[in-house]
Structure 1
């Protein structure tokens, strides 16, 4: 074989290796997921976040062809699980069911180990939870005004429980306190279920909780004084909203699924589609109805934009009401 033929053979082999390598990478990406996906849940088992993430994950794994394994990591108003996620490989095999409380409010109010607008890849926003303020049936407070009037006249006498510092439930109560000049004692829990159990057990006077209030209300185990959104609860239209009662305090929370920052576009697209399609499943729709959730859809780009806007809006609100002087965590 002459020199020219040898050179041509080397070139042909090089081209085949490059093409073959590209196809192998393409095939590897096309095969995602090759194994189980780990889904962290930022709150304790049995709550609305846990149940809704389990439902959407069960439907999504049918689309993906691999199991999604749930792992609850409650605590810190949803920040514990997000702290774990921020240090995981961005390969799509570790995700987190979280809330905007853990992504936005908690980092504004307390220092966290991640950068809220930099450390994550948004995949989908899928629901708004209904938040509520409730007291035991034997409580002397028949409505929200009675509770707030007493709390104002009796500093630090009222103990209230929430899902943790910076959660929507915590912010709601602190905004009311700052607006009305109230001093009361915050008792943080790892989830709404824990706060409700503490309320029913007589350990706290008030609970500011998520949709977990729904079965408690249906069973007539506690008295709901108000819901914390601008719209009434679809299942309990008789319960007043906080704005209806004359208080200019409204907080919003979005349930979402995020991954670590830097996920490959092909992986993100596959996950985004799987979870979007999962929202059409009967198991997800049934869970949403039972939990009194309001469905919403944000894709990756829309949710990133929403988080940017929510950070600025919430930061300004917390500063204006005196809840914070400066953000406790840098967003980037």
Structure 2
């Protein structure tokens, strides 16, 4: 009996060891080479600035470099779509996941599903949105801009970082509530957008903090922001909510990978980026961009995405931007 019992214990130990060796080859050794972080916006913009600092800090906790790969286009959806279609779920390719991913799938046919084709890793931050004009613009206030749009329906333009982006949709929602028609001009990213506005080719721009250095230098004037309350950095600038337009937008974002990632690898990435989020260098760059923390665990981030996806479907249909699937 003792021999039989001992044999069973040995077999159980061998089985446990075999399982342990089979699973973690990936998780225990991860990462053993550089990780690629795809940023779906151009280099030099606010999202790129944020992600590069965050990646640099997280790389110290992971013990491997994190290489930022800028892949702008399609309103911020090109980079994540590439990850969904081509990246291996091994943790070595992750992507900044903008809210436009939850909207574009309602606006056109896509080869990916924003909920089922991704692994949600961590929620990180959200933007401060605003509308800016050149300092010599005749529009001294946001109400001046809206008044001009009422006088010239469809003639007063604004630029954004793409069709379906948060800056685009929040302006369309506001225009609907203000009962005006605006002319939207999409751009690939902040750099092109800033150049067009500063060059006098646009009346205004709707965007995140890409306009920030130009407002600070006096080249642009900030007319309105879209938070729940006025920003600490620009306390004299009213919110769209207080002006009576009822539009509030944060557009949270985080990090994701392709579907099917090993939960242990996801946890390793989550923990490294969470430590990076708490680092003073990260706090400093968020302050510069006038952004706040928006931490969500992978599970909480996924649930938030499901809720936002359902809510945005209603908004997009109401604005007449839904894809025609007939």
**TM-score, length-normalised on structure 1?**
0.89
Render the CA deviation track for 1:45-74: whole Å, top value 9, x for unaligned. Answer: 111111111111111111110110000001
Partner of 1:200 in structure 2?
Answer: 198
Matched residues, number:
316
CA offset digits 1:114-155 (Å, max 9, x no partner):
101111111111112100101111111111111111112212
Please show how residues 1-332 of structure 1 align to structure 2 within 5 Å.
Answer: 19-20=17-18, 22-23=20-21, 25-87=23-85, 88-101=87-100, 103-320=101-318, 322-324=319-321, 326=322
Aligned mates of 1:276, 1:229 — CA distance in 2: 24
Q: Distance in 1 between matches of 2:26 and 2:109?
A: 39
For structure 2, the residue ranges without an aligned partner over 5 or more in a row are: 1-6
Between stretches 179-188 and 39-48, larger displacement belongs to 179-188
Shift of 1:106: 2.7
Distance, in Å, in 1 between the alignment partners of 2:257 and 2:192 is 27
1:312 and 1:117 map into 2 onto residues whose CA distance is: 11
Q: Is the 8 A contact 1:158 1:205 kept in 2?
A: yes
CA distance in 2, matches of 1:328, 1:215: 40
Structure 1 residues 70 and 231: alpha-carbon distance in aligned structure 2, compared to 1, 3 A threshold: same
Q: Per-residue displacement from partner, 1:11-40 (whole Å, max 9, x unpaired)?
A: x99995984574254344201011010110
TM-score by length of 2: 0.91
Q: Deviations over 1:238-297 (max 9, x none)?
A: 110001111122223012111011100110010011100111112211111111111120
Contact 1:178 1:323 in 2 (8 A): no
Counterparts of 2:15 and 2:293 in 1: how far apart (Å)? 49
Matches of 2:246 and 2:18 in 1, distance apart?
63
Mean Cα displacement is larger for which, 49-58 or 108-117?
108-117
How far apart in 1 are the matches of 2:301 and 2:12? 43
Give me the CA root mean square deviation.
Answer: 2.1
Q: Which runs of 5+ in 1 are unaligned?
A: 1-8
CA–CA separation in structure 2 for the residues paired with 1:15 and 1:176: 64
Cα distance in structure 2, aligned partners of 1:108 and 1:24: 40
Consecutive aligned runs of 4 or more in structure 1 exceeding 6 Å deviation: 12-15
